[in-house]
Amino acid sequence: MAMATSTPVEVLSAVFQVREPVDGRATLHVLLQRSGAAEPWALPGGDIGDRETLAAAARRHLGTQCGLTRVAHLEQLSVFSAPERIPGTRTIASTYLGLVPRDVPAEPETMDIDSPAAASWFDVDGLPPLAYDHAEVIELARGRLAAKLSYTNLAFALAPSRFAMSELSEIYGAALGHHVDATNLLRVLSRRGVVVATGTLGRTGRTGGRPPALYTFADDELVVTDEFATLRPPP
Amino acid sequence: MAMATSTPVEVLSAVFQVREPVDGRATLHVLLQRSGAAEPWALPGGDIGDRETLAAAARRHLGTQCGLTRVAHLEQLSVFSAPERIPGTRTIASTYLGLVPRDVPAEPETMDIDSPAAASWFDVDGLPPLAYDHAEVIELARGRLAAKLSYTNLAFALAPSRFAMSELSEIYGAALGHHVDATNLLRVLSRRGVVVATGTLGRTGRTGGRPPALYTFADDELVVTDEFATLRPPP
C-alpha cells in the first residue's frame, strides 16, 4: 500500500436553520463564527483530534465555537482539495451539512465572555464577506439541501416536531427560495407516507379561521422517499 | 481560525464496470489491485501530491496501479475517519465512486512487467478478502450507484455509447442486483428525456428476430432527472 502524505485536514460545517427575522418572513440562515472583530466570518470548524471521527470533530467545533449542541442532522458534503484554497499551508477541508429544527432555540453564545470571538446566524441571501472558499461550501450545502428535500424526508430536521402544513410549506419555501403550495405539499408528502396527521389541532393563525390540523414526520432520520418505481426489486 | 492537524489522508476509488464473465450473464465488477502476491487485494489509491486535487490523485493511482485511464464518471463518496480504520498510523480516507462504460476495453495491465503488483476486475458478489475497511467502501459505492440510477441519468457512465434497450436493462439489472424490465425502463427513461432514439438499428440478437432500435443517453454528464414536481419553482 502506498503511504499517505500528511496533508493537513480541517472539518467545516454549514449548519442551516429556518429563522424569522424582524420583517416576519421566514428565510434560511447559516451559522457563522469569527475569532475576532478584525477576522472574516467563517464556517465553524477546525482540527480533528487523534481519537475523533470527522463527525465528532464537527460537532465539537459547533459546540465550542458557537454554543450549538442540538443538530438534528449532520451529513458529509464534498472534500475541498484545491491546492491554493488556503494561502500558505496546503489544507484539505472535509465539509458537512447540518440542520437545526425551527423550534430549537439556537442562539449562539460566546463561550468565553472575555473573548472577542463571536458566532451568529446570517440570512443566506445576505452573507458578509467570508473566509477562503467558505462561500462555495455554503452554496454546495444549499444545493444539497434543496436536492434532498425533493427525494427524501430531510425536512424533518428543519421542521418543529408538530406543524401545520402552512408552516411546513414556509420551511420548504425558505430552503428552496421559492413559493411552495401547502395543499400540493400535503398531497405529495401524505401519499409517500412522509408526514402523518397527529389528530390534534394547532392555534388559529394570524389571519383567523379554524385551528389548523397538526402533522408530524413519520421518521426522524433520513429516508429516501421517492425511489424510481421501475427499478424496485420485484415484490 | 483553528489550525488543522496533519492527519495523513489517502484517496481510494471504487471503480465499477458491468462485465460478462464466462457464463455470459453480465454482472457488476469492481477494480482491485495488490502490491504483491502476499498482500490482500485493495482498492486503487494512495497519497495526494502537494499540487494535486483529490480527484487528480484518484485518477493518477488508477492509471499507475491499474492501467485504467478512461473513467466516464468519478464522484466523491464519504470520508472514512474511524481512528482505528488502519492499525498503526491514523489515516483518513477520502473515497470515490468511478464508472467505466461497458464498451471501453478496460483490462488492467501491470505497468512494470517485473513487478509482482497486479490489478484485476472482480465480481462484486464474489470478492476476495480485502485490505482494511475497503469492503465497506465498496458497499457504500454500490449503494450510491443504485440510488443514483433511480433519480439521475448516471447509467450513461456504465452504458456503451449506443445500445438496445435489452442491453441497457441488463446493465441496470447488473448494477441493482435484480431484474429490470426493458419495456418499463424505456417508458420511464423516454418520458424523462434521459434516453433518446438514434434512428439506427443494431444487430439481431442471439435469439433472432428483428434488429433492435438503438438508443443513446441525451447527456454525458450527471443530470438529476427526477425532481420533485411539487417543489419546482413556478414557471
How many distinct structural domains can be found in chain A? 2
- Is B114 in the same domain as B66? yes
**Assigned C-alpha cell, B39:** 498482500
| Residues A47-98 pLDDT 10s | 999 899 999 999 999 999 998 988 999 999 999 999 999 988 889 999 999 9
- Is B163 in the same domain as B200? yes
CA-based nearest residue in chain A for residue B144: A224
Report if residue A75 sits inside a domain. yes
Report if residue A32 sits inside a domain. yes
Question: Does the interface predicted TM-score (ipTM) exceed 0.85?
Answer: no
Q: pLDDT band for A181, please (50, 70, 90 cuts).
A: very high
Q: What percent of chain A has pLDDT over 90?
A: 64
Does residue B166 register a pLDDT over 90? yes
> Among the three residues A89, A107, A134, which one is the final residue of a domain in this structure?
A134
In chain A, which among 48-67 make CB contacts under 8 A with chain B?
Answer: 48-55, 61
Q: What is the DSSP letter of A51?
A: T
| Residues B27-77 pLDDT 10s | 999 999 998 888 999 999 999 998 999 999 999 999 999 989 889 999 999
Comparing CB atoms, the residue among B2, B90, B94 nearest residue A46 is B2
Q: Which residue has the higher pLDDT, B192 or B207?
A: B192
- Is B129 in the same domain as B156? no
Report if residue A161 sits inside a domain. yes
Whole-number pLDDT of residue B44: 97
Comparing CB atoms, the residue among B6, B83, B227 nearest residue A150 is B227
Residues of A in contact with B49 (CB under 8 A): 5
Report if residue B143 sits inside a domain. no
Question: Which value, to the nearest 10 degrees, does the dihedral of the CA atoms of residues A100, A103, A104, A107 take?
Answer: 90
- Is B129 in the same domain as B169? no
Interface check A192 vs B, CB under 8 A: no
d(CA A167, CA A160): 9
- Is B20 in the same domain as B87? yes
d(CA A67, CA A215): 30
Report if residue B225 sits inside a domain. no
A194 to chain B, minimum CA–CA distance in Å?
13
- Is A162 in the same domain as A100? no
Report CA-CA distances (Å) from A86 to A135, B58, B210. Answer: 13, 21, 60
Report if residue A107 sits inside a domain. yes
Interface check B183 vs A, CB under 8 A: no
Report if residue B145 sits inside a domain. no
Report if residue A109 sits inside a domain. yes
- Is B79 in the same domain as B118? yes
In chain A, which among 87-116 make CB contacts under 8 A with chain B?
Answer: 89-92, 94
> Which residue in the block uniquely carries the three cell numbers 497486479?
B118
Average model confidence (pLDDT) across chain B: 87
- Is B161 in the same domain as B97? no
- Is A30 in the same domain as A57? yes
- Is B27 in the same domain as B115? yes
> Among the three residues B102, B134, B166, which one is the final residue of a domain in this structure?
B134
- Is A206 in the same domain as A168? yes
Range of the domain at B76: 9-134
In chain A, which among 129-158 make CB contacts under 8 A with chain B?
Answer: 131, 147, 149-151
- Is A122 in the same domain as A156? no
CATH number of the domain at A52, please.
3.90.79.10
CATH number of the domain at B173, please.
1.10.10.10
